């Protein structure tokens, strides 16, 4: 970003405070940052703080004679390589979509022919309001790009859902991609996708464990496809003999309990996909030392306790539940019927049911035959590569979020 000039328009929302970090991060990467604050932004952070961090004047007033004389709203946009709006409030988006120029921020935007990136932030109900969604669609059609909003807890107590401003580093990544001339972000840009994958290993003693035949291929293919479609991806994986996929945050775990802890630590996410073959039981008390053969005592008896059901636990979470929770059902018979039952029992939105009988070759193989089970019915997909299953599933998920008006 060295030498690039960013014009940051700060809207009036509580997440305006994150702009101080955003400015710092952009400048760290060699960009210069000039700022315009709307009148309401001044209710949340002061021009003094913004000016101190940006190392430049802060522009606030369309009719400020000095500002207009020195720079002017036309020059402000002309002298930028890219304009970032953060937080892009519902009101700012509406005024932009309507082509208004009733303050310095909107006048600059209307006068600009530069690439514009908006990082929306607002209450989830405001975001989901059809008026806001219409405005976002209009702005997208006008070429404005969006990063976020993310889902999660709001500043208002007890409120959660889509509307949190993307984190400064996510905004920086989107800026970098735009400056590099990257194509429009994929359909999952600004989304966080959490994937579990692989088997778990439940120890018996320090050298022995119980595991299963899961290869982790399908889960990894899902993580890779999500990253390719623009998502930030966290992959929580049990032990597999595959290299970590690129552009994915990989968390390696062994046991079901570790997997649950890693999943909880990675939340919130917009989409949770649970492809891991989690051991249903673990040995109640794994031996601290290697169990020795003892002729007199005979074969040791193992006592098991049930592992937590990670999918069910996440699906039952309140406000921090991902907007779309997808489980897998590995079955060897009655695949669709058992998959439907599993969808209900687990409380998830979708189930990808697959035949893991030896004949299907799904376990460990490169291909998979799956049925997508949703509240609306069952779709049986033809046999295809696990990478293709992953891509199709993620595209369906991105579309679903769009239709439920949670996405940009
Ligand atoms: N799953 C999970 N945590 C567990 C068990 C399963 O998250 N402790 C998830 C799997 O990742 C998968 C789904 O639940 O998405 C279904 O797993 P499956 O093993 O097919 O079903 P079970 O719940 O184990 O039921 P059963 O073994 O009786 O078929």
Check whether residue 199 and residue 169 sit in a common domain: no
List, in order, residues 6 or more apart from 140 with CB less than 8 Å away: 146, 408
Within-domain flag for 26: yes
Q: Which residue in 135, 117, 138 sits closest to 126, CA to CA?
A: 135
One domain, residues 240 and 114: no
Q: Are residues 314 and 291 in the same domain?
A: yes
Is residue 302 located within the same domain as residue 337?
yes
* Residue-wise pLDDT tens digits, 303-315: 999 999 999 999 9
Protein residue with its CA nearest to atom 17 in ligand 1: 329
pLDDT of 359 reads 66
Mean pLDDT of the chain: 90
Distance 328 CA to ligand 1 centre (A): 7
**Distance (Å, whole) CA 348 – CA 274:** 10
Q: 7 pairs with which residues across the strands?
A: 34, 83
Best mutation site among 214, 222, 262, 309 for ligand 1 pocket (most ligand atoms within 8 Å of CB): 309
Whether 120 is covered by a domain: the verdict is: yes
Rounded CA separation 25/27 (Å): 5
Asked if residue 160 and residue 14 are part of one domain, the reply reads yes
Report if residue 184 sits inside a domain.
no
Write the residue with the smallest CA distance to atom 24 of ligand 1: 280
Domain-located, residue 186: no
Q: Are residues 290 and 160 in the same domain?
A: no
- In short, whether 278's Cβ falls inside 6 Å of ligand 1 is yes
Q: How many CB atoms lie within 10 A of CB 13?
A: 28
Asked whether 327 lines ligand 1 (CB < 6 A), one says yes
Is any atom of ligand 1 closer than 6 Å to the C-beta of 276?
Answer: yes
260 lines ligand 1 (CB under 6 A): no
Same domain, 332 and 302: yes
Read off the CATH number of the domain in which 9 is found.
Answer: 3.40.50.1950
187 belongs to a structural domain: no
pTM attached to this predicted model: 0.61
Q: What's the domain count of the chain?
A: 2
Phi and psi (nearest 5°) for 250? -105, 130
Question: Which atom belonging to ligand 1 lies closest to the Cα atom of 306?
Answer: 8
The alpha carbon of 330 and the centre of ligand 1 are apart by a number of angstroms equal to 8
Contact 123, 155 (CB under 8 A): no
Do 367 and 229 share a structural domain?
yes
CA of 309 to the centre of ligand 1 (A): 7
The parts of the chain modelled with pLDDT lower than 50 are 405-408
CB 293 within 8 A of CB 316: no
Assess whether 307 and 167 both reside in one domain.
no
**Same domain, residue pair 120 and 234:** no
Same domain, 163 and 272: no
According to the model, what pLDDT value does residue 406 have? Answer: 42
The set of catalytic residues is: 212
- Give a yes or no: residue 228 inside a domain: yes
**Boundary-marking domain end, from 179, 201, 235:** 179
Note whether 199 and 147 are same-domain residues. no
pLDDT at residue number 312: 98
Domain that holds residue 320: 192-407
Q: What is the DSSP string of 133-147?
A: HHHHHHHHHTT-EE-
Distance 312 CA to ligand 1 centre (A): 9
């Amino acid at each position: 970003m060295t030498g690039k000039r960013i014009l940051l328009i700060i809207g009036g929302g509580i997440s305006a405070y994150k702009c101080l970090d955003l400015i710092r991060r952009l400048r760290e990467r060699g960009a210069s940052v000039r700022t315009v604050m709307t009148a309401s932004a001044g209710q949340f952070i002061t021009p003094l703080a913004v000016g101190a961090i940006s190392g430049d004047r802060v522009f606030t007033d369309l009719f400020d004679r000095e500002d207009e004389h020195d720079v002017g709203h036309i020059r402000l946009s002309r002298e930028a390589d890219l304009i970032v709006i953060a937080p892009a409030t519902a009101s700012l988006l509406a005024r932009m979509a309507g082509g208004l120029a009733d303050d310095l921020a909107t006048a600059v935007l209307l006068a600009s022919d530069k690439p514009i990136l908006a990082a929306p932030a607002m209450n989830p109900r405001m975001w989901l309001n059809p008026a806001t969604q219409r405005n976002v669609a209009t702005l997208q059609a006008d070429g404005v790009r969006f990063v976020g909003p993310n889902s999660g807890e709001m500043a208002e107590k007890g409120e959660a859902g889509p509307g949190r401003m993307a984190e400064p580093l996510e905004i920086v990544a989107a800026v970098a991609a735009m400056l590099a001339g990257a194509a429009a972000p994929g359909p999952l840009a600004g989304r966080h996708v959490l994937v579990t994958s692989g088997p778990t290993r439940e120890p018996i003693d320090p050298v022995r464990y119980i595991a299963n035949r899961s290869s982790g291929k399908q889960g990894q293919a899902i993580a890779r496809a999500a990253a390719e479609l623009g998502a930030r991806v966290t992959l929580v994986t049990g032990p597999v003999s595959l290299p970590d996929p690129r552009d994915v945050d990989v968390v390696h775990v062994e046991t079901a309990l570790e997997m649950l802890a890693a999943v909880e630590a990675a939340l919130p996410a917009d989409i949770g996909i649970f492809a891991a073959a989690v051991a249903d039981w673990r040995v109640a008390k794994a031996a601290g030392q290697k169990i020795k053969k003892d002729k007199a005592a005979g074969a040791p008896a193992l006592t098991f306790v049930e592992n937590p059901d990670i999918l069910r636990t996440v699906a039952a979470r309140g406000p921090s539940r991902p907007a779309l929770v997808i489980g897998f059902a590995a079955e060897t018979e009655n695949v669709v019927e058992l998959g439907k039952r599993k969808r209900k029992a687990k409380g998830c939105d979708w189930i990808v049911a697959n035949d893991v009988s030896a004949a299907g070759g799904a376990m460990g193989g490169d291909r998979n035959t799956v049925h997508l089970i949703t509240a609306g019915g069952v779709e049986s997909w033809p046999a295809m590569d696990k990478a293709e299953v992953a891509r199709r599933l993620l595209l369906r998920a991105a579309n679903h979020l769009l239709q439920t008006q949670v996405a940009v």
